[in-house]
Structure 1
Amino acid sequence: MSVSQSVVLRPAGPVQPLDRRVWGLSAVGVGGFALAGVYQLSGLGIPCILHATTGLNCPLCGSTRMAAALLRGDLGAAWHFNPVILVLGPLVGVALGYQVLAWTLESLRLVRLPRLSMSPRAADWVLKGVLVLLAVYGVARNLH
């Protein structure tokens, strides 16, 4: 990961747009916490199709209950429901949040913060690593 520029106060000129993947992942994260809030308040959630049909837990099973536990401040329960997403979620959330904040501040012409960037090769390796981690976790959580 690298930084593409330095801090500039009152920037002028065109604003570099955010990658659509940043917006998409951000929307998924916000939607996930909104779903967790609904689940926390009403007990209504979206069932996992894999779990409903096979009884097996997918790598994301428990994520809504994990986020609901976080909303009520119960870190132990959150860890129990899905420890991998509990660790990966905040890491991804901070990186995405920073990107959106940097874009917003630059769009408002307040300050241009350095943007995070990653080479396509590095992004490919990170994606593959996360997918392997989730696959291994998905298998391991069903072995008990």
Structure 2
Amino acid sequence: MTAARIEMHPQGPVEPLDRRVIGVAWVGVGGLALAAVYQLSGGRLGIPCLLHVTTGLDCPLCGSTRMAAALLRGDLDAAWHFNPVVLLLSPVIGVAVGYQLLAWLLERARLVRLPRLRPSRRTMDVLLKVGIAGMVLFGVLRNF
């Protein structure tokens, strides 16, 4: 395996941005926009959770909009109360996606080519399975 290196003023074709990165970035932007609308409306506008509405149970993502709205107003304690798992995972995912976007933009502008994150298919499968199992476990535990 070769070591990744930084290349100034890169030439040649620009490696395309992974569609999954674009998708996750749009989900993040949409979530922040929804949180801003929720915050600006005083909590009157939001998307209700179908699981919570029909069963009274909290899904693993319940409270995410209120958590992000609390962060927008600087209330970390309330954000933790609404959804601690999403609060902890969001910055990690945001930094990874942000780095990928920045690396792509800098390369596209022909300023610098930064090493990209390239997890293997096996790594992605394991992360997805662990993530789903963790969220299901959190969903069960938060309803006790």
TM range (shorter): over 0.9
- Secondary structure of residue in 2 paired with 1:18: coil
**Residue 36 of structure 2 corresponds to which residue in structure 1?**
37
Unaligned residue ranges in structure 2 (runs of 5+): none
Post-superposition CA distance 1:89-111 (Å, at most 9, x none): 11011000000000001001111
Say which structure, 1 or 2, has more relative contact order (CA 8 Å, 6+ apart): 1
C-alpha RMSD of matched pairs (Å): 1.4
Aligned to 1:16: 15
Match of 2:85 in 1: 84
1:27 Cα deviation from its structure 2 partner? 0.3
1:37 alignment partner AA: A
Identity of aligned residues (%): 65
CA distance in 2, matches of 1:112, 1:63: 35
| Helix, strand or coil at the partner of 1:50 | helix
Summarize deviations over 1:7-43 as a string: whole Å, max 9, x none.
1111110000111010001100111011000000012
Q: Could you say which residue in structure 2 is the equivalent of 1:56?
A: 57
TM value normalised by structure 2: 0.95
CA 1:45–1:28: 2 relative to 1, 3 Å: same
Aligned-partner Cα distance in 2 for 1:72–1:10: 41
> Counterpart of 1:116 in 2: which secondary structure?
coil
Greater than 6 Å deviation, 4+ residue runs? none
Segments of structure 1 that go 5 or more residues without pairing to the other structure are none
For the 8 Å contact 1:3–1:116, the answer to whether it is kept is: no
Equivalence for 2:72: 71
